[in-house]
Amino acid sequence: PDNAASDRDSIRCVTTAYFQDLGDVPDIIPTKYQTPAGGSHRYVLNLSKIFSRLYSEEGAVVPTYESLLYVKNNKPGLGECQADCDNDGECNGDLVCFQRGTTTTYVPGCDGVASGSNDYCYDPDYYTKASFMRYIVFVSDDDRLVNGVRSNGDVTFGNIEITTSLTSCLADEDISFSLNDCTADNFLAAVQAKMEATAACANKSDPLLELFSLFDATEEMDVYSNIEKVCTGAYKLSGYDVYDEGTLGMDAATERQITAEYLDGGSVWNYANSNDDTATIERVASTVATSRLLAWPDHHALEHCDIGAAMCCSAVSRADPVANDPNAEVCYVDIKASKRTARVRDGYSIYTQDQANDVYCEAFAWGTDGGSIQSALKGNALFQAGFANMLDGSVEQIPGAPLCGCLDRMPVVTNAKCTQVTSTDSTVNVTFNKSLGVFDSSLDLGTISTSDCGNIVDHYKALEGGEDTPESLYVAGRVVGATGCAEATTSFLSSKGLEFSATST
């Protein structure tokens, strides 16, 4: 651009969707949330914080701005960012009087929000100052090359607003509210209701911006993260680590970590029939599984369930007669996704289909909101789908995959029973203490109930508000329906440069 002679180019780039390879490009900064293809997202960015690290580099010149200041009325000699001027002649040197009218609240090159009818002197060449940020570029690149074709490169940015000063209207208020489900949407709605009832918020209506200020956030994801912390903080006192060494974590006879091995498809729970083990699981099922929030196990197959869904699949039933009838066929197993379970670095298994179900799969979902009651109860759902089912004889994993795991680590299958564990009468009580400037929360735990939620794909879509989202479409690509294996397998193999013909297998 026109400042090419400058030691530092003052263009600043923020990327909102993954680049294939950013390389060593210090002026391109990824946002915390990267919008997937087909997705949409509202970004709120404190650019001064985001770009502050660029000015910490050796040799960087930190831009400085004069604060707006009222000095005198309609007299010459006014300095930069000083008021009140009527014409350029009242400003020192080459400064110009900025006639801002009645609606403009900023003054170019100055810090602060202008109010009243004051007009300020400013430097018309302010943008040529060293390291002044004159360009902000928002870049989104999901235009990946797949099989020689580029797609998903269409990106739209809209409703762009710039706020030069953001203050909280609730910071001086003690507030409280209760939520039946502590999701981010419900939390924001409750904050908006408090804003509508507070005189200091008369000219404000955006709860996300309110919390952005209250949390002193850098990006909108900081707000969502803080909301999740408030919500999950309420669940801690009602939690119970059923998978620790004192309950299900250790096999007394062998003194081995049984939960970890069981989830990988091993241990005596899969290959033996112990009345002691059965009694332990029955005791958990009849006590804490229905009265406490069970912890999520620390296990590689259950780490980073970003999609908010998991599944258990068993290949064998040791019960006679079979309690859980086979309900699915396996399309393929991507061993690379579950390499720690398989103890093989890479590989895959392709299965043929004969429309005769030969495995039993059960899935559950809590969505992408970590503060929801269903997220708090995902450990209970895992116990039901993975451990209580052992009482009915469902054991042994599909080769190359864990017995239970996040959906991306499990085989692609035609069907899965949908299990939902929730508590519709639980309440999270939220308070904000103005003296401390912090939120606190507590839980009134109601009845924990387990139900059949029908089709896991439809259930997950309902969690996402009934809309097709990248996440719900991903779930549909993992549980593909009775006739979906051929398409799913073809797509998987094409990513490896291979062709697939269902008729030839």
Q: Residue 225 burial (CB < 10 Å; 0-12/13-18/19+)?
A: middle
Residues paired with residue 347 on neighbouring β-strands, in sequence order: none
- Report pLDDT for 145: 58
pLDDT at 247: 59
Residue with tokens 């795991």: 405
**Hey, what are 410's tokens?**
């499990």
| Spatial separation of the C-alpha atoms in residues 393 and 434, rounded to whole Å | 55
Q: Taking Cα atoms as reference points, which of 251, 229, 200, 379 lies closest to residue 305? A: 379
Q: What integer pLDDT is reported at residue 3 of this predicted model?
A: 43
Kindly state the average pLDDT of the residues 86-99.
94
pLDDT confidence tier of residue 148, bands split at 50, 70 and 90: low
Residue owning tokens 């094409």: 494
What tens digit of pLDDT does each residue of 346-387 get? 999 999 988 889 999 999 999 999 999 999 999 999 999 988
- What pLDDT shows up at residue 13? 73
pLDDT band of 504, cuts 50, 70, 90 = very low
Asked if 140 contacts 15 with a C-beta cutoff of 8 angstroms, the reply is yes
Residues sharing a CB contact under 8 Å with residue 43, sequence separation 6 or more, in sequence order? 16, 31, 33, 219, 220
- Number of Cβ atoms within 10 Å of the Cβ of 20: 10
pLDDT of residue 171: 97
d(CA 135, CA 148): 34
Could you tell me if 377 and 370 are in contact, meaning their C-beta atoms sit under 8 angstroms apart? no
Rounded-to-integer distance, Cα 159 and Cα 247, Å: 53
Which residues touch 283 (CB under 8 Å, ≥6 apart)?
Answer: none
Rounded mean pLDDT, 403-421: 96
4 burial type by CB count under 10 A (0-12 exposed, 13-18 middle, 19+ buried): exposed
Which tokens sit at 183?
């999701």
Angle at 25 between CA 20 and CA 26, to 5 degrees: 130
Q: CA-CA distance, 295 to 17, in Å (whole number)?
A: 33
Q: How far apart are CA 172 and CA 486, in angstroms?
A: 60
Task: Report d(CA 343, CA 432) in Å as an integer.
Answer: 49
pLDDT at residue number 317: 67
The pLDDT of residue 146 is above 50: yes
d(CA 337, CA 233): 32
Radius of gyration of the chain (CA): 29
Residue 98: in which H helix or E strand, if any? strand 96-98
61 token code pair: 């010149």
Local confidence band at 285 (pLDDT 50, 70, 90 cut-offs): confident
* Rounded-to-5 percentages of helix, strand, coil across the chain: 30, 20, 50
If phi over 0 gives left and psi between -120 and 50 gives alpha, with beta otherwise, what is residue 475? alpha
- Convert the pLDDT of each residue in 418-452 to its tens digit: 999 999 999 999 999 999 999 999 999 999 999 99
**pLDDT for position 266:** 64
Give mean pLDDT, residues 470-499. Answer: 93
Are residues 374 and 367 in contact, defined by beta-carbon separation less than 8 angstroms? yes
Average per-residue pLDDT in the chain? 84
Tokens linked to 300? 């590689």
CA distance 309 to 378: 9
Is residue 231 pLDDT above 60, yes or no?
yes
Three-state secondary-structure class, residue 382: helix
pLDDT value for 254: 44
Average pLDDT over residues 262-280: 62
The confidence band for 15, taking pLDDT boundaries of 50, 70 and 90, is confident
| Mean per-residue pLDDT, 31-36 | 85
